[in-house]
């Protein structure tokens, strides 16, 4: 009994840490951080615009993680009457996801030039809905964000033994996804000049570091692995 509790605690804590890290990665977007700072520095309602941006990020993450958890094989087995059908749905979905990763990786590699963030674009995002859409779209199509959410959704679906445990993991994932945006709001209120200077340094770093090559190659390898694994599962399950 005592050993079982200790084992459960180890699994729970390690999963919580892993999901937290993935949550941070899912919401990580230097482009959105720069956009948030640019918008906040040019509006009299920085909190409202920050809330709209964070809402867009959260909705995108919510849609993705629900999708990945729902179409996980362990979840499908609870709703589909036969194992064959559940495996078929899971395989088809994951092959599609893997192919999307491969396509996205190829797209990243074929667009090596990093577009320079333009203040004019930030100025154009003056409406709350525009800012919300910016957060949603950038997160929903982000390879790193989708990858982190894919892994988090699968981990949560596999590890969770009950609804409460699943809710705790998911909430932790959400919180870590928006922590950087909340930190930016606080920094803008306390020391906006220092944050703006840090933003310029970040822009310079992004131009020097070819992160698109790393993300592109990683996405192709990950996508190919997902496709291969699921085809093998379909053949030998």
The ranges assigned to domains in the chain are 2-236
pLDDT reading at 156 higher than 70: yes
Q: Give the pLDDT score at 117.
A: 44
Q: Give the pLDDT score at 130.
A: 86
**By mean pLDDT, which of 8-22, 58-72, 167-181, 196-210 is the weakest?**
196-210
Q: Are 146 and 132 in contact (CB under 8 A)?
A: no
pLDDT reading at 204 higher than 80: no
Q: What is the mean pLDDT of residues 58-65?
A: 91
> What CA–CA distance (Å, rounded) separates 27 from 177?
4
3-state secondary structure of 111: coil
Q: Give the pLDDT score at 207.
A: 65
pLDDT reading at 236 higher than 70: yes
Q: Which of 62, 33, 67, 83 is nearest to 188 (CA)?
A: 33
**By mean pLDDT, which of 53-62, 77-86, 215-224 is the weakest?**
77-86
Q: Are 79 and 225 in contact (CB under 8 A)?
A: no
């Amino acid at each position: 009994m005592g050993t079982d509790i200790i084992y459960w605690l180890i699994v729970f804590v390690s999963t919580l840490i892993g999901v937290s890290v993935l949550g941070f990665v899912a919401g990580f977007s230097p482009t959105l951080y720069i956009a948030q700072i640019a918008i906040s520095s040019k509006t009299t309602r920085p909190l409202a615009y920050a809330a709209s941006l964070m809402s867009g990020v959260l909705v995108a993450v919510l849609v993705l993680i629900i999708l990945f958890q729902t179409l996980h094989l362990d979840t499908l087995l609870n709703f589909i009457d036969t194992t064959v059908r559940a495996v078929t749905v899971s395989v088809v979905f994951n092959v599609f996801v893997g192919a999307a990763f491969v396509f996205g990786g190829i797209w990243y590699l074929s667009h090596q030039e990093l577009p320079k963030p333009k203040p004019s674009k930030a100025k154009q995002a003056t409406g709350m809905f525009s800012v919300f859409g910016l957060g949603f779209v950038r997160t929903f199509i982000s390879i790193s964000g989708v990858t982190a959410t894919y892994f988090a959704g699968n981990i949560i679906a596999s590890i969770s033994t009950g609804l409460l445990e699943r809710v705790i993991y998911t909430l932790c994932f959400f919180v870590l996804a928006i922590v950087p945006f909340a930190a930016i709001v606080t920094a803008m209120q306390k020391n906006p000049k220092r944050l703006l200077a840090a933003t310029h340094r970040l822009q310079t770093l992004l131009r020097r570091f070819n992160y698109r090559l790393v993300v592109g190659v990683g996405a192709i390898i990950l996508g190919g692995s997902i496709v291969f694994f699921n085809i093998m599962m379909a053949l030998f399950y």
